[in-house]
Amino acid sequence: MTVGTSARSLALTAVAPFAVQLTAVALTLLSGCDPDWPGANKTVIVQGKVMLDGIPLANAQVTFFPIAPIDAPLDDLKPMSYGVTNINGKYSLRQADGSLGATTGQHTVIISKPLGDPSKQDWPADVNDAVPDFYRHHGYLKRHVMPLPGSHQMDFMLSTVDPLLSTRESTSSR
């Protein structure tokens, strides 16, 4: 191997991580964060599957809430999207106006499956839910809906054990 070849390999090795980071930043900017970009505020088809401890979660409510800047004007807020899982845990999102899909951008996702008859309980304080609390709080689950053609598959593999808590416990027990 010549000195020129190894120097070129070294330069490419040093530039490659930067190129990956630059590509990630560019994709983030082009994904709906800039309202002047043609893909911004686009609605795309989103579907997926919800599993709880490896079992399809039927009749669960899946809701995508777009994340907006704190100072965003009300006119700029994007609509939320929602869906209900079937017996196989599969869902498709739609918006309040009935149109299929979700708007592009970052979303907080809430997944819930109330148990019993909510009309006979002190709604919402006493509602029992098959989905653990940590999946029903804003900010725990996030997904980014990209302005790409076709439908987006967004699956959720949930557990009755908080993954963050179990990670903390396993590292603290060492």
List, for residues 41-53, the tens digit of each pLDDT value.
689 999 999 999 9
Q: Could you give the CA distance from residue 93 to residue 57 in angstroms, rounded to a whole number?
A: 16
Sequential DSSP letters for 50-80: EEETTEE-TT-EEEEEE---TT--GGGPPPP
In a domain, 16, yes or no: yes
- Token pair in block for residue 97: 């106006």
14 and 67 assigned to the same domain:
no
Stretches in the chain below the pLDDT threshold 70: 1-41, 116-127, 138-139, 163-174
Q: Could you give the CA distance from residue 6 to residue 41 in angstroms, rounded to a whole number?
A: 47
86 and 134 assigned to the same domain:
yes
87 and 14 assigned to the same domain:
no
Q: Find the helix or strand (DSSP H, E) in which 61 lies.
A: strand 61-66
Helix (H, G, I), strand (E, B) or coil at 123: coil
135 and 152 assigned to the same domain:
yes
57 and 100 assigned to the same domain:
yes
**Phi–psi pair at 120, nearest 5 degrees:** -100, 5
25 and 50 assigned to the same domain:
no
Domain hosting residue 80, numbered range: 41-161
**Phi–psi pair at 86, nearest 5 degrees:** -90, -170
72 and 141 assigned to the same domain:
yes
Among 155, 157, 112, 118, which Cα is nearest to 133's? 112
Beta-carbon neighbour count of residue 138 at 10 Å?
11
Average pLDDT over all residues of the chain: 73
61 and 110 assigned to the same domain:
yes
65 and 29 assigned to the same domain:
no
In a domain, 26, yes or no: yes
5 and 53 assigned to the same domain:
no
In a domain, 116, yes or no: yes
| Whole-Å CA distances, 15 to 6, 9, 22 | 14, 10, 10
pLDDT digits (tens, 9 = 90+) for 81-102: 999 999 999 999 999 889 999 9
130 and 60 assigned to the same domain:
yes
In a domain, 169, yes or no: no
What is the CATH number for 71? Answer: 2.60.40.10
Domain count, the chain: 2
86 and 143 assigned to the same domain:
yes
| Whole-Å CA distances, 132 to 23, 84, 89, 129, 170 | 36, 17, 16, 7, 20
* pTM, to two decimals: 0.66
